[in-house]
Structure 1
Amino acid sequence: MLHAQPLNIAVMAHLHHPIASPFPGGLEMHTALLTEELTARGHSVTLFAKGGSHTTGTVVPVLDARFHFAKHPEGPARDAQTRHLDDAHNTTLNLIDEGNFDVVINNSLSPLPHADPPTAPMLTILHTPLLPRVTAVFEASGYRPSPRQRFVSVSAANARQWRNHLDDISIVHNGIRLDEWHAGVLTRRRSNTAVWAGRITPEKGLHVAIEAASLAGMRIRFAGPISDQDYFTRTIAPLLSESVQHVGHLNHGQLASFLSSGTVFIASPLWAEPFGLTTVEAMACGTPVAALPCGAMAEIIDQRGGVVAGGFSAADLALAIEQARRADSTAVRASAARFAAGVMIANYEQHLGELVNQDILSDSEMLAS
């Protein structure tokens, strides 16, 4: 007999930050939305996460909230941090095996669920470019993913990198609650002002966005956590002026109003951006996007939503800004509708249901033999 809804689902979060607003990045927002939407659909969801996390499901803290994740530790400090995170992930896997879970969603970024998979079937969501410790597991002699494991990527662009290691990867684009971002359309747009939002790190390219806005003759306001203090101090702080303003790290509600206040949103990734949630959030606010052609930008920005630059320079991005700012806000919002949270969750439910049903059928066949 096939498993019927609802499911008892374990979600493994990554442990660098709590799953709580204001979100440090898109992965934290995705994990929160995923657990809340699955819970709202009647599933029993348990989130294994860093202390300080909040969700409508059940939260099991597996790492102290006071733990500080250092981005680039070296030597013994790096090894100690890795061991600490691995211990917490091992705790998660043990608790999952002790629980009565139908299926596991792996958002952890850790190699451990692949090296020693949980007893329940597992859906891994690939949110990032290649992770060396994870690919090392895949490259180990004799490794083959179990039929009880399934992989999805947040974009086709991101999946292309992982396909050197995994043969079967489905695509499920990230989703957002469109109504939360539509609410921002009541915000008065600031004339001739670009907006930017994200973690303030070199790979997010804020310095290029600032230069491009200047070349396009626009002011720029940017929001987000200072995740790399040295980069901010050396590169961004000297550029601050009346025309270049940091508005701080905004919560979800504040971010909707902020994104709606711009004439254009600038996406300036200098890395293989796996998706780009703030790009979709800006479009949902009716704010057209000008983007550098990195990662998934060309996949998520269509002709209604904005313009992807023809090259990687600030001048190329400035030209895209000048073109994108003329887009119709109604058409921009219509473009964002492709990324509704309900579509994403329905796709995940299909994968989870297939994994559970496949597991039940396999067990039944073993008993029959």
Structure 2
Amino acid sequence: MTADPLRIALIASSRYPIRQPFPGGLESHVWYLARTLSGDGHHVTLFAGPGSDRTLGCAHLQVRTLDVSHAARQDVSMPSMWFMQEHHAYLQLMLDLSGPLAESFDVVHNHSLHYLPVAMASAVPAPVLSTLHTPPTPWLESALAVRSGAGAHFAAVSRHTAAAWQHAVDDIEVVPNGVDLDSWPEGRGGPHLIWFGRLVPEKGAHVAVDAARRAGFPIVLAGPISDAEYFDRMIR
């Protein structure tokens, strides 16, 4: 490295660990990013679900969980427990980044799908870059609508994703997901095509099926059925 190393906080999912096998592309992206930035000499600290890979060469921020009392659970406003746990984890993290950890980082890179890192970005002294991995969600749109704009910056993993968010974010840098070619060496090939990912409309498995039919190849699909109606109507 020629430049001084940066102190980087990476925010990922509070529920899913950053380790192989990856639950999805977001976790894979953060894993490779943490490993590469650490390998380049930067000081990386990762906030992610318990059990994340300890061989990445980075520090880890603890996920703070919440023990909701019996009385609070009986209240009519009580949401699902996973919602409360996730809300509490990100609330604690953002308060830490704006309080006791305020001078600990040069940049905060947010990859989570949660609204609080966006809504509270202006409270953090360091610049907060949020990478948008998905189409718009109501919670993130709400956070974008109330943010002050100070300290908040945005990138998207594709031009398509950036275009989907343009109604809410007017300045989005496009930084495509990287691929570690050493981890995907060319194989011997075979008689089948393969597609893998979550079986939801935006992932386009039905397009892959159509392409395979046109090319005259059988195709194998691998992945969780996250949208049963789509699977039954377009895939099965």
**Which of 151, 154, 161 is the equivalent residue of 1:151?**
154
**Which of 90, 107, 111 is the equivalent residue of 1:107?**
111
Q: Distance in 2 between matches of 1:207 and 1:154?
A: 22
How far did 1:214 drift? Answer: 4.3
The equivalent of 1:96 in structure 2 is: 97
SS of the residue 1:62 aligns to: coil
Any idea what the Cα deviations from partners look like across 1:201-251, whole Å, max 9, x if unmatched? Answer: 454343554465346432112333x253856995799x5xxxxxxxxxxxx
Residue 10 to residue 179, structure 1, CA distance change in 2 (3 Å): same
Any idea what the Cα deviations from partners look like across 1:63-84, whole Å, max 9, x if unmatched? Answer: 67xxxxxxxxxx9886443222
Q: Distance in 1 between matches of 2:233 and 2:175?
A: 36
The equivalent of 2:120 in structure 1 is: 116
Any idea what the Cα deviations from partners look like across 1:296-348, whole Å, max 9, x if unmatched? Answer: xxxxxxxxxxxxxxxxxxxxxxxxxxxxxxxxxxxxxxxxxxxxxxxxxxxxx
How far did 1:190 drift? Answer: 1.1
Amino acid at match of 2:92: T
The equivalent of 1:228 in structure 2 is: 226
How far did 1:7 drift? Answer: 1.0
Point out the more displaced range, 97-106 or 209-218: 209-218
1:26 correspondence with 2:30: no
The equivalent of 1:139 in structure 2 is: 145
Residue 78 to residue 210, structure 1, CA distance change in 2 (3 Å): farther
Any idea what the Cα deviations from partners look like across 1:246-288, whole Å, max 9, x if unmatched? Answer: xxxxxxxxxxxxxxxxxxxxxxxxxxxxxxxxxxxxxxxxxxx
* Residues 12 and 108 in structure 1, CA contact (< 8 A), matched pair in contact too: yes
Residue 151 to residue 82, structure 1, CA distance change in 2 (3 Å): same
**Which of 133, 152, 177 is the equivalent residue of 1:127?**
133
How far did 1:34 drift? Answer: 0.9
Amino acid at match of 2:33: L
Q: Distance in 2 between matches of 1:79 and 1:130?
A: 22
The equivalent of 1:196 in structure 2 is: 195
1:167 correspondence with 2:165: no
How many residue pairs are counted as aligned between the two chains?
A: 217
Q: Distance in 2 between matches of 1:194 and 1:152?
A: 32
How far did 1:94 drift? Answer: 3.0
The equivalent of 1:295 in structure 2 is: none
* Residues 64 and 92 in structure 2, CA contact (< 8 A), matched pair in contact too: no
Q: Distance in 1 between matches of 2:205 and 2:15?
A: 22
* Residues 19 and 27 in structure 2, CA contact (< 8 A), matched pair in contact too: yes
Any idea what the Cα deviations from partners look like across 1:84-110, whole Å, max 9, x if unmatched? Answer: 211111122233342211210011121
Q: Alpha carbon RMSD of aligned pairs, Å? A: 2.9
Residue 195 to residue 122, structure 1, CA distance change in 2 (3 Å): same
| Unaligned residue ranges in structure 1 (runs of 5+) | 65-74, 240-369
* Residues 13 and 112 in structure 2, CA contact (< 8 A), matched pair in contact too: yes
Identity, % of aligned positions: 36
Amino acid at match of 1:152: A
Structure with more relative contact order (C-alpha pairs < 8 Å, separation 6 or more)? 1
Amino acid at match of 1:86: H
Q: Distance in 2 between matches of 1:77 and 1:233?
A: 32
Q: Distance in 2 between matches of 1:137 and 1:22?
A: 31
**Which TM-score applies when normalising by structure 2?**
0.79
* Residues 51 and 63 in structure 1, CA contact (< 8 A), matched pair in contact too: no
SS of the residue 1:50 aligns to: coil
Amino acid at match of 2:190: R
Q: Distance in 2 between matches of 1:199 and 1:80?
A: 24
Amino acid at match of 1:121: P
* Residues 200 and 231 in structure 2, CA contact (< 8 A), matched pair in contact too: no
